Chains A and B, each alone.
Chain A
Amino acid sequence: DAGVTQSPTHLIKTRGQHVTLRCSPISGHKSVSWYQQVLGQGPQFIFQYYEKEERGRGNFPDRFSARQFPNYSSELNVNALLLGDSALYLCASSFRPGENNEQFFGPGTRLTVL
């Protein structure tokens, strides 16, 4: 079975531009979470979606948005990019939200903002 997949692998943008990152969860998983990992730090939670509805949002500005599609794949959108948005963006899937459910992570998308 395929794991969590993310696209693109790497992305270079300039300040002010917009970016869309994509994630496909493990087959059968209905929950997708997005995290931002700045170099040298642990991941920071951005969003969680379950059954196409936002279940949680981290402390990120409104420039960050996401959605989940009927096939449970997800997109993360970031508008008006800033230099500080440069990071590894990780997508994680789980069968459903909840304390017992470990999250399985994709390889990430490395975003560089120039």
Chain B
Amino acid sequence: AQSVAQPEDQVNVAEGNPLTVKCTYSVSGNPYLFWYVQYPNRGLQFLLKYITGDNLVKGSYGFEAEFNKSQTSFHLKKPSALVSDSALYFCAVRDSYQLIWGAGTKLIIKP
């Protein structure tokens, strides 16, 4: 069965510093990986996806993610964090007709 893990419940970063939110996956076959962000009292917003091709995927709001097959990871990154990036981030993997989600990582950017 496909699964994803987000090992950190919370990540704290100072504004202007680079940020990384970790995700590891377990799949049979080729992984289809996604990152979404959820702001308070809001639905999930798509950030980026990895289907195939370049291991570095660029997405919305300056975010990017690095796919690493040997480490089965798909970490979300941003070179310079903004206070407005503070939100809940979810990694997900496609399993046939559904998305399998991680538990989420709360990202807190401090001014």
A-side interface residues toward B, CB under 8 Å?
Answer: 4, 33, 35, 40-45, 48, 55-56, 58, 90, 92, 97, 99-100, 102-108
Among B51, B96, B99, B103, contact of A103 (Cβ-Cβ < 8 Å): B99
Main secondary structure of the interface of A (DSSP, over half): loop
Q: With A and B bound together, what is the CA distance between A83 and B41 in angstroms?
A: 21
Contact B43 A4 (CB under 8 A): yes
Q: B61 at the A/B interface (Cβ < 8 Å)?
A: no
A108 proximity list for chain B (CB < 8 A): 42-43
Chain B, interface size category, equals: 20 to 34
B-side interface residues toward A, CB under 8 Å?
Answer: 32, 34, 36, 41-46, 49, 51, 90, 92, 94, 96-104
Contact B43 A48 (CB under 8 A): no
Give B101's nearest chain A residue, CB to CB: A42
Q: With A and B bound together, what is the CA distance between A41 and B100 in angstroms?
A: 12
Q: With A and B bound together, what is the CA distance between A104 and B41 in angstroms?
A: 16
7 A-B contact pairs sorted by A residue (CB < 8 Å):
A45-B98, A55-B97, A56-B97, A90-B43, A103-B99, A105-B36, A106-B43
Q: Which of B100, B101, B102 counts the most A-chain CB atoms under 10 A from its CB?
A: B101
Given A4-B43, A56-B96, A108-B43, answer yes or no on A102-B34 (Cβ-Cβ < 8 Å). Answer: yes
